Amino acid sequence: MIHEEMAYPPCGYLSLLPGPLEKCWSRGFSLQVRERLKQQVVEMKEKFPGFRPGLAILQVGNRDDSNLYINMKLKAAAEIGISANHIKLPNTATEADVLKCIASLNGDPAVHGFIVQLPLDSDKPINTEKITNAVAPEKDVDGLSSINAGKLSRGDLGDCFIPCTPKGCMELIRQTGIQVAGKRAVVVGRSKIVGAPMHDLLLWNHATVTTCHSKTSTLAEEVGKADILVVAAGKAEMVKGEWIKPGAIVIDCGINHVPDSTKASGKRVVGDVAYSTAKEKASYITPVPGGVGPMTVAMLMQSTVESAQRFLEKFQPGKWNIQYNQLTLKMPVPSDIEISQSYIPKPIDQVAREVGLLPDEVELYGQTKAKVHLSALKRLKNQPDGKYIVVTGITPTPLGEGKSTTTVGLVQALGAHLHQNVFACVRQPSQGPTFGIKGGAAGGGYCQVIPMEEFNLHLTGDIHAITAANNLVAAAVDARMFHELTQTDQALYNRLVPSDSGVRKFSDIQIRRLQKLGINKTDPMALTKEEVTLFVRLDIDPGTITWQRVLDTNDRFLRKITIGQSLTEKGFSRTAQFDITVSSEIMAVLALSDGLDDMKKRLGRMVVASNKKGEPVTTDDLGVTGALAVLMKDAIKPNLMQTLEGTPVFVHAGPFANIAHGNSSVLADKIALKLVGKDGFVVTEAGFGADIGMEKFFNIKCRYSGLRPHVVVLVATVRALKMHGGGPTVTAGVPLPKEYMEEDLQLLAKGCSNLNKQIQNARMFGVPVVVAVNAFKTDTKAEMALVVQQAKEAGAFDAVVCTHWAEGGKGAVALAQAVQRASQTPSNFRFLYDVKLPVIDKIRIIAQQIYGARDIELLPEAQEKVALYTKQGFGNLPICMAKTHLSLSHDPEQKGAPTGFILPIRDIRASVGAGFLYPLVGTMSTMPGLPTRPCFYDIDLDPVSGAVNGLF
């Protein structure tokens, strides 16, 4: 790690010269080492495409000798295929500057070996020991940190880095063929760089070792006993030839300059051993120069390659060493929050390590949640993806049928019970339902993401970031209209492009607006009067504004409001509304972005209104794109959590499943697929029933992500199928009618028409379907057997009864095994429609093939929007149908699998940034209201323990 080259001149060859015994020795052993390392690097690159061992050399100052030695190392690294990076700090660098640089290199996953060149040539006082120990031990390829030195001193040779010079000396000794064990070895010198570690190394190779130094009074006598002599004292020719035992191996690590008038420089280089006389007695001896120095550099390269191999072994994608939590099941099953709080989650940094994430790729938010940097995806880009599984469901009751619970149960079964690498990727829930009527979305029973209170509440603040970004856009829209209505063109221009010390300059986003307008000018003074008018006037038509303010709370009284009533707004008021945050287009943008750059472009493309000419007005036109990206820069990082049984979970994004696509983020799926490896599984969930969430998962999410699913898991319940068979109305918060509590095979069989249709819908995309029958305690064996039979007859690959809610992963093992088998079958995935088709044709295909409609009917407003969006260039976007989730049709009262109906399209809206058009089928509420008795009545905080109570 810290490398001081006081002993080693530049030389291309290693020499261990034979003494009188005439044993020949190659002068190119260090070259042999380099050739071997070169081949290892080639094999490493073949096995892990895109990978390359990395060495960092940190230098402070500009000493000539240091520059010389660093160049030797850089040259050797280049020859071997190691990526070497020379970081040079000025001699004005402080200790804090050096430590900051070290911290950065410690966290850089591309750096596997790291040395600090000594001496530190700084004008400022720097504690070398502190610098030494600041380097991460796993990158300390010079082996001089206290941790590595301590491991060496206690004999942990396989778990530490050995300083390069002693390591090189040991290699030279081994190459003589003479056994070290049982020999008497003498080390002259006690430095941390050579003497002390050389003593330890010889000792743990079973030599009897004596350490001497310049103050040893019986030095000649001790030297005369040595079978192996290593000298690193720093004194010219201190050890005389006549002291040496005949036949001894002599390793001279010293380098000293003595006067010599025959040399042009007036001096010559000698070692610590009187070479001319010593060579007559030694069996092997290293010359100076050209002996130990090249071997030291070779060992530095070897340690770097070894470090890279350890890195690959530890962080190899698909190779997990994960600790699972064992469940203690109770009957009756306690409340969700009781179960969640009865298990202590693993520290989230442990979970990150277990799945192969690097420390610098993880940003901790306390002990139980973390954000994962997108650099992980870049690092893993050449790794194969795992198997991609989507969990969806039949058309549900208002109570939901347990898709989230099944998702968690499936990953717990695959991971904790079948020992497969598996990740769950789920949506972040809105706080609206959490405090409203539905409750949280962390799963339930013994299949939960924990801590469930963290999951269901603020998490890491992503939804709050979206709220802030969305409302910034809304404020910008109204402010721009106000200023345009109250100022002249020139006044607007003077304020939009202000003078700073007499200089006016366009911002980057203003340059983009000029280019969009066809004005290719960058000098604010060069615009004509007409160009100034074009630039400053967005001329928004208030009647076309589609951008609303948002809040992550259910509040029915914000569904329609009047804004601008203050006197300061000079009478410029208008009718507006609040939506719930998760319905914001920015949430959909977050979910579909594949990186920061893509997110920024999508944010800039969002259309907020049309101008009075019917042209779209975007957030980029408002000048707010960069600010939105800043607000969203942390939200784009997926959130890492865990299940009750310790399997990893990404919680990221939570777009509405009606006016948006209802799926978690593309980025979370992509990172997870790389982390699990080619034999692992990523299980994600699509919102609502298969006709909504799954269809959008395939036609929108998979279209943008480029990912291809392997299996559909379709969740069904006996109670929902009875409802579809004609059972009484199911209402949230009201006890279930007796028909749902008693066996009724006829009612159930009739309702299986919905199951059959949703299986058909999934198979339409060419993906095998496994039906998960989510069992409730009131379901009978005959009822569950009937559902399994009906599912298989309808074309499901398999159908399995699951009891994971009560039993955790154990209750979903059969489901997991069925998913494993299904994932081995061919997946002939295909999209339902070509996006280049006319908008009406795409809507018709979805309505007829997925819903079972006879045809569609576009109401006048929808017809106008088709013409408008086609004219504006948005006709090639995919379709995101906004309809009720309680029926395959537009009418929530129509259960089962209705056919022959006409699907009415009331209106069509555009989420251009997210990348889809969403036709409105009936009335869609984007701001839920609170019921008579909301969930918040039961939610409380224990002031003593700080525990949250009452969430479900």
Phi and psi at 834, nearest 5°, equal -90, 125
Backbone angle region of 819, left / alpha / beta, with phi > 0 → left and psi within -120 to 50 → alpha: alpha
Using CB atoms within 10 Å of the CB of residue 746, give its burial: 0 to 12 exposed, 13 to 18 middle, 19+ buried: exposed
Residue 377 contacts residue 358 (beta carbons within 8 Å): no
Phi-psi region for residue 588, left (φ > 0), alpha (ψ -120 to 50) or beta?
alpha
Q: Are 590 and 462 in contact (CB under 8 A)?
A: yes
Q: Output the DSSP codes for 836-880.
A: TS-HHHHHHHHIIIII--SEEEE-HHHHHHHHHHHHHT-TTS-B-
Please state, in angstroms and as integers, the Cα–Cα distance from residue 74 to each residue in 6, 79, 86, 115, 428, following that order: 18, 9, 8, 12, 48
β-strand pairing of 549-551 with 940-941: unpaired
Q: What region does 625 belong to: left with phi over 0, alpha with psi -120 to 50, or beta?
A: alpha
In 679-744, alpha helices (H): 695-696, 702-705, 718-724
* 333 closest CA partner among 443, 497, 478: 443
Compute the distance between CA of residue 171 and CA of residue 201 in angstroms, rounded to an integer. 11
Do the bridges between strand 616-618 and strand 607-610 make them parallel or antiparallel, or are there none, so unpaired?
A: antiparallel
Give alpha helix (H) positions in 224-356: 275-278, 292-315, 336-341, 348-354
Q: Answer whether the bond into residue 9 is a cis peptide, omega within 30°.
A: no
Other Cβ atoms closer than 10 A to 824: 11
On whether the CB atoms of residues 770 and 711 are closer than 8 A, the answer is: yes
Residue pair 577/561 in contact (Cβ under 8 Å)? The answer is yes
- DSSP-assigned beta bridge partners for residue 650: 425, 640
Choosing from 73, 151, 438, 670, the catalytic residue is 73
Helix, strand, coil proportions of the chain in percent (round to 5)?
A: 40, 15, 45
Concerning whether 346 is annotated as a catalytic residue, the answer is no
Contact assessment for residue 432 and residue 930, using Cβ atoms and an 8 Å cutoff? no
Distance (Å, rounded) from C-alpha 796 to C-alpha 777? 25
Active-site residues, by number, are 73
